Chain A
Amino acid sequence: MVIQILALLLIVLGAFFFVAGTIGLLRFPDTLCRLHALTKADGLGLGLTCLGIALLAGSAGEVSRIVLIWFFVAVSSAVCGHLIARHVRRSARASTEGS
């Protein structure tokens, strides 16, 4: 019972950070600021949600799969953030050189 309440708290907290990241995505002025809000808040939200789900998991196999999912989503979202930021910087440089 205690574990279930703890898991629920972690998932709600994770959802809160996802919502915060989404508000940042909608409200911030330019791509780099939005990326900043999204990658940081979503990274925390993902970790908390995975922790909450792992507490509810039935077996060690399930827990290890959740950990793997967390790892790969975290790594690929970091790489995605890098690629978007890189593209923004390059196109900004190209447009200043062009004008």
Chain B
Amino acid sequence: MTDPLLIFDVILGLAIVALAVAVLAMHDRFAMIVLFIVFGLLSALAWVRLSAPDVALAEAAIGTGLTGALLLTTLHHIRATPPAPVPVPAGAIIANLGLCGLIFGGLVVAFLSTPLQAPGLALPVAQNMEASGVAHPVTAVLLNFRAYDTLMEVVVLLAAIVAVWMVERGTAQAPSPVMGEIYRGFARLALPAIVIIGTYLLWVGAYAPGGAFQGGAVLAAVGLLLLLSRLYRPQPAHRPLARLGFVLGTAVFAGIALLVASGGRVPFEYPAAHAKTLILLIEGMVTISIAVTLAALFHGREPEYASVSENHK
């Protein structure tokens, strides 16, 4: 007796592979990005089926939603000139097809010979949940057991916004599209709700799927709505505040690690009595940083005084 949901899994898996091919084969670049967004959402659905709701939320919000917004805004900037088709020699295509076929075959053989459902680290994590300060295992791993990874990840996000501001300094920016009054009304209606949903996701991460990254991504949508509806226009004078937002998460995260270490402990070995408070503090600040940084990544170029951008031209 096969589980009927397995049929669903097979169809979903085939659809995901077909969409991956369609994304790369699509001629029109706008359609390519839209198909990619559909691909990302179906992948998130597959991860729900694999009982990984945290990963699915992160993929839907960050990997698909915000990445899609970044891709579309870039397309808006570069759309004026469709690329000249550069012929790729047939030999190169065949050689690469063969190479990727070999890699695919090798990975399939390796995957089929690896035992699925190996014990892994679920047991040690479950045994130490008491000491972590939160009740949701993924949050415990992210903010406590493997907090170094998460700290480095926040640093990578900080490095990305620094790089984007440097790369685009002084470039002319295509005017953003006019979205109209109905969109502005929608933004006014949706903004408070999104703030509540983002904060809820952050809060619920302590005991259920959710957390700083998912909440931060939802709050970044507030920034996107404000920028697109022109309810907020970035000003050069706001740059110090934005920079504070970028570094807040990294600074608080690293600061708490150092504070804990100065008490004669290993960094991130939070004292058990304060673990929950410290994790919530870190998560709150990291959420703010993620939201501000992702919205700034969407906006792209740093807001500059007119004279500064003139000098660079």
Q: Do chains A and B touch in the complex (CB under 8 A)?
A: yes
* Count of residues in A whose CB is under 8 Å from the partner chain: 7
Interface majority SS (helix, strand, loop, mixed), chain B: helix
Q: Indicate if the CB atoms of B183 and A83 lie closer than 8 Å.
A: yes
Q: Complex formed: what's the CA distance from A75 to B193 in Å?
A: 12
Tell me, yes or no, whether A76 is within 8 Å of chain B by CB.
yes
Contact B193 A76 (CB under 8 A): no
In the bound complex, residues from chain A placing their C-beta under 8 Å from that of B93 are none
User: Do the beta carbons of A75 and B180 come within 8 Å of each other?
Assistant: no
Chain B residues within an 8 Å CB radius of A72: 190, 193
Contact B182–A82 (Cβ < 8 Å): yes
User: Could you say which of A75, A82, A83, A86 contacts B189, with CB atoms under 8 Å apart?
Assistant: A75
CB within 8 Å of A: which B173-213 residues: 179-180, 182-183, 186, 189-190, 193
CA of A41 to CA of B156 in the docked complex: distance in angstroms? 43
Q: Is A79 interfacial (CB 8 A cutoff)?
A: yes
Chain B, Cβ-Cβ closest to A87? B177
- Interface size class of chain B, counting residues whose CB lies under 8 Å from the partner chain: under 10
**Is A76's CB under 8 angstroms from B190's CB?**
yes
Residues of B within 8 A of A83 (CB): 179-180, 182-183
Taking CB as reference atom, which chain B residue is nearest A82? B182
Nearest residue, chain A, Cβ from B193: A72
Distance in Å from the Cβ of B218 to the closest Cβ of chain A? 12
Within 8 A of B (CB), among A45-99: 72, 75-76, 79, 82-83, 86
Contact of A86 among B180, B186, B190, B193 (CB under 8 A): B180
Name B's A-contacting residues (CB within 8 A): 179-180, 182-183, 186, 189-190, 193
Other A-B pairs beyond A76-B190, A79-B183, A79-B186, 14, CB < 8 Å = A72-B190, A72-B193, A75-B186, A75-B189, A75-B190, A76-B186, A79-B182, A82-B182, A82-B183, A83-B179, A83-B180, A83-B182, A83-B183, A86-B180
17 contacts between A and B (CB under 8 A): A72-B190, A72-B193, A75-B186, A75-B189, A75-B190, A76-B186, A76-B190, A79-B182, A79-B183, A79-B186, A82-B182, A82-B183, A83-B179, A83-B180, A83-B182, A83-B183, A86-B180
